[in-house]
Amino acid sequence: MIGRRQRVALALTALLAAAASCQNHARQNSAGAGLPAPPAARGFTLVASGEILPHASVTDRARFDAGGSGYDFRPMLSAAEPAASHADLALCHLGGVYGADGDHGGPVPGAPPQLAQGLTAAGYDGCSTASEHALDDGAPGIRRTLEAMDRAGLQHAGTARTDAEAGSVTLLRAGLARVAHLAYTYATAGPGLPPGQPWAVNLIDEQRIVSDARAARLAGADVVVVSLHWGTAWQDAPDAAQVALADRLTASRTNGRPDVDLILGTHAHVPQAYEKVNGTWVVYGLGDQIAGEMYNDRGVRDSRGNESTLARFTFAPPTRPGGRWRVTRAEFVPQMYDLDAGRVVDVDRAIARGADLHGVRDRIRDVVLSRGAAGDGLVTGR
């Protein structure tokens, strides 16, 4: 019997030659079970959370939670576990790279590889890895990061170790649907892409994104999710470039069917609006799910940098062959990272237990609904 969260990666370079068979023959996973085309029998839920920034205080807390030996990120993520583990598919965003096994040092500080294990334990299935920090330690940082994710069973999209890996699309099982996860960033910091490795990090390019989305569909994807590391840091409202790109991507269609089914944004460090654009949900910015003390563009400590939302979308199968999987319910869950406790906090649950977080909740809600999402059915999740 096929598990509900199997994943595959299919080489895009072979798509045109293999398109006829991709619907029924996906590459086998490590357990040896194939991934046949699923019947459109029931829907699925997808959750996505904001950026994870492996600051020193974050990793120090994970070391404390491990008793001083190793790192344990499970307590830190415990409040996210109910939503992630009960969803058919849960996605996160890694805003950095992993250090060497056993530490988070190396040439450039990074997250201990145990973070990947903590994310898997919390119920996450995959992460986007394309960000401006993806090359903080060059190609070795990408390799360590993806190897650690592979060991933890955590899928990834947006960076690659080889040309062949870059030319592949990650397909993940969500209930009975197959979901393609694509990821891109506006730029990378440092000296740029490694010499001879222009494929190491996916950069935002409208034509490339549309082409990849169409190729993923040929590979058998029922739903195409695009993670974009974009926008202006510390700006509550999406900038003009975000709005324009979201409009063009959601307007792109093949045979009348949208090429992109959902857009998930990161980078701004603050929650941004949700909006339905051309019939497709766009989350301009999920915010930072985990981060140390954050200082805004004026160098001032800014608590918004520790606020985020967890997005949850319920998809229903098509009503006709070849039709679109439709979002029938859209929800957001306000979250924050408690710097003192070193824990992700479900804001509404904390308020129900007596915490005075009404201002945090209201600020997040006002931003999320600022572009009319409530009128399109977006509600606060529980």
List per-residue pLDDT tens for the chain, 382 residues long.
Answer: 333 344 444 333 333 333 333 333 332 233 333 344 444 458 999 999 999 999 999 999 999 999 999 999 999 999 999 999 999 999 999 999 998 654 444 434 578 999 999 999 999 999 999 999 999 999 999 999 999 999 999 999 999 999 999 999 999 999 999 999 999 999 998 778 999 999 999 999 999 999 999 999 999 999 999 999 999 999 999 999 999 999 999 999 999 999 999 999 999 999 999 999 999 999 999 999 999 999 999 999 999 999 999 999 999 999 998 899 999 999 999 999 999 999 999 999 999 999 999 999 999 999 999 999 999 999 999 8
Two structure tokens written together for 82: 């109910």
The whole-number pLDDT of residue 193 equals: 93
Question: How confident is the model over 121-136, as pLDDT tens digits?
Answer: 999 999 999 999 999 9
End-to-end CA distance of the chain: 31
Question: How confident is the model over 274-302, as pLDDT tens digits?
Answer: 999 999 999 999 999 999 999 999 999 99
| CATH of 7-19+44-380 among 3.40.50.800, 1.10.10.10, 3.60.21.10, 3.40.190.10 | 3.60.21.10
Under a CB-based contact definition with an 8 Å cutoff, are residues 217 and 259 in contact?
A: yes
d(CA 194, CA 172): 29
The pTM (predicted TM-score) of the whole model is 0.89
Two structure tokens written together for 139: 């190609």
Pick from 59, 69, 62, 67: nearest CA to 99: 59
Under a CB-based contact definition with an 8 Å cutoff, are residues 281 and 300 in contact?
A: no
Handedness of CA 186, 215, 167, 208 (dihedral sign): negative
The whole-number pLDDT of residue 32 equals: 30
Domain ranges of the chain: 7-19+44-380
Q: Where are the alpha helices (DSSP H) in 52-94?
A: 56-65, 81-86
Q: What is the crossing angle of helices 114-122 and 56-65, to 10°?
A: 70
Under a CB-based contact definition with an 8 Å cutoff, are residues 158 and 185 in contact?
A: yes
> What single DSSP character describes residue 320?
S
